[in-house]
Amino acid sequence: MKISRALLDEMVEHARDDLPNECCGIVASRDGAALKVYRATNAEASPARYSLDPREQYRITMEIEDAGLELGAIYHSHTRSEAYPSQTDVNLAFYPDALYLIVSLRDRDAPDVRAFRIVDEQIEEVALSVGDEG
């Protein structure tokens, strides 16, 4: 996935803003390029789990569809662990066409963002191409 530094920074800022809890949100894309980050509310309000508020998820999904975009990725943060899917993340990966982006704040001074495709409980890391434009 291609993503601008500004959008990546927006996700990291969201993760920091929601500490001590995990954050979550959706990335809209077109042709493999991230175009917009939608912050969502972590309905779990937990430092160890996340789930998107269903009403908010529906609203964001409709906005993405109305704009002619795609659900490119679902993102969330790990507050104390590496940017790698937990077993819970794998169990809740219901969108095989979307990427899963994880923002790790384990090292608060050097956040790490990685992307994964999770299909049938199989995890495959996907390269993020970060640049000045998405």
What is the fold, at CATH topology level, of the domain defined by 2-131? Cytidine Deaminase; domain 2 (3.40.140)
pLDDT at residue number 132: 76
Specify the higher pLDDT residue, 73 or 53.
73
In terms of Cβ atoms closer than 10 Å to its own Cβ (0-12, 13-18, 19+), residue 69 is middle
Give the pLDDT confidence of 87-133 residue by residue, as tens digits. 999 999 999 999 999 999 999 899 999 999 999 999 999 999 998 76
- Residue 126: phi and psi, rounded to 5, are -120, 135
For 105-109, the CB contacts below 8 A with 24+ separation are 105/15, 105/16, 105/19, 105/77, 105/78, 105/79, 105/80, 106/78, 106/79, 106/80, 106/81, 106/82
pLDDT at residue number 134: 46
Q: Are the CB atoms for 132 and 125 separated by under 8 Å?
A: no
Q: Output the six-digit token pair for 43.
A: 């309905």
The pTM of the full predicted model, rounded to 2 decimals, is 0.94
